Amino acid sequence: MSKIAFVFPGQGSQVVGMGQRLANEHPEVMDYFKKADERLQSSLSSLIFEGPQEELTKTTNAQPALLTTSIALLNFFQKSGIQADFVAGHSLGEYTALVAAGALTFEEGVYAVRKRGEYMEKAVPNGEGTMAAVLGLDREKLAEVTKAVDDSGFPVSLANLNCPGQIVISGSSKGVELAGEKAKEAGAKRVIPLEVSGPFHSSLMKPASSELRAVLDSLDMKNAEIPVVANVSADVMSDSAEIKEKLIEQLYSPVLWEDSVEKMIELGVDTFIEIGPGKVLSGLIKKINRSVKTYSVSDEETCQSVIDALKEEKL
């Protein structure tokens, strides 16, 4: 019996105008953008629809903007009756997955990621921390490199284990620079500095964790109705207390995306549907395992083509 996973993108997938046409044509989609504006008491929707991109890309805006757009798309897509057996999201996308799984209400999710973005930006002064993608080096070798640099007093660690040969490192600016140089010496093909506002998923994010805990404690977290595969463990979670702990750990721990996808495949998933702007996760999943089917839903057209493809498979 084939199983379906819905996966939700993280920061970096945001683009001005995402979800706008669908929202303009379907009042029930526009409702989500209005609810987000109301909960955050700001005009997030006009920033999503009109930009500027620079403002939308700020962590405090990008996180609620992506969650809002992805959940609005999800609800439109689910009118087809297609349901997920598992959900997962990349970093910020994990919050979207939790809303999809019924562990958080939409309004709580939007509020939580706005606060999460604020705390992440505040944890490390701008310019003092950064991230870089390391291509073509396996995780064991790269872990040795980052540990050596970290032990020498310059914080750096593995942050996103995205797919074979693509790992993001995160930490102090000097730590990431040194680890990048050593990674090349160890055989990495390329090291690409990322344009981010902080060293996400590194130990430098720990100061933000107590503030995030206070926010999560204020929410009415429920057990997930659909199993969620967690970033920090690459394992299934559904208990509300465990979800909360894993979200706090996720701030300063690596995102085990490759392992999470492998876990879902092991549990019988052969169809992954990325819901949200872009196709970043679909691309990574194909690099992890070429035999599974991947689809992406980002507007009405892609939504319909995925529904048609899945119906055809069942015939």
Q: How far is CA 203 from the centre of its chain?
A: 19
Residue 60 corresponds to which tokens in the numbers above?
A: 């405090």
Range of the domain at 249: 3-123+204-314
What is the C-alpha separation between 276 and 305, in angstroms, rounded?
A: 15
Region 18-24: what's the mean pLDDT?
97
- pLDDT at 2 > cutoff 90: no
- pLDDT at 77 > cutoff 90: yes
Q: pLDDT tens for residues 85-142? A: 999 999 999 999 999 999 999 999 999 999 999 999 899 887 899 999 999 999 999 9
* pLDDT at site 127: 80
* pLDDT at site 315: 60
Q: Rounded mean pLDDT of the chain? A: 96
Q: pLDDT tens for residues 225-253? A: 999 999 999 999 999 999 999 999 999 99
Considering the chain, what percentage of its residues have pLDDT values greater than 70? 99
- pLDDT at 1 > cutoff 80: no
What is the C-alpha separation between 102 and 64, in angstroms, rounded?
A: 17
* pLDDT at site 247: 98
**Is 129 inside a domain boundary?**
no
Residue 299 corresponds to which tokens in the numbers above?
A: 């507007």
120 closest CA partner among 205, 232, 196, 244:
205
Tell me the residue ranges of DSSP E strands in the chain.
3-8, 86-89, 129-135, 156-163, 166-172, 190-193, 228-229, 236-237, 269-275, 293-297
Q: How far is CA 54 from the centre of its chain?
A: 19
pTM of the model: 0.97
Residue 59's CB: how many other CB atoms inside 10 A? 21
Name the one residue in this structure whose structure tokens are 């070798």.
Answer: 141
What is the C-alpha separation between 184 and 103, in angstroms, rounded?
A: 42
Q: Let me know whether 103 and 216 are in one domain.
A: yes
Q: Crossing angle of helices 206-217/106-123, nearest 10°?
A: 160
Task: Give CA angle at 103 (284, 283), nearest 5°.
Answer: 10
- pLDDT at 18 > cutoff 70: yes
What is the C-alpha separation between 104 and 110, in angstroms, rounded?
A: 10
Which amino acids are annotated catalytic? 91, 201
Domain count, the chain: 2
**Is 213 inside a domain boundary?**
yes
**Is 21 inside a domain boundary?**
yes
- pLDDT at 314 > cutoff 80: no
* Domain harbouring 222, CATH code: 3.40.366.10
* pLDDT at site 152: 98
Residue 140 corresponds to which tokens in the numbers above?
A: 């064991």
What is the C-alpha separation between 18 and 73, in angstroms, rounded?
A: 10
- pLDDT at 265 > cutoff 70: yes
* pLDDT at site 98: 98
221 pLDDT tier (thresholds 50, 70, 90) = very high
* Domain harbouring 182, CATH code: 3.30.70.250
Considering the chain, what percentage of its residues have pLDDT values greater than 90? 95
Amino acid (1-letter code) at residue 1: M
DSSP-based three-state secondary structure for 239: coil
Q: Let me know whether 41 and 76 are in one domain.
A: yes
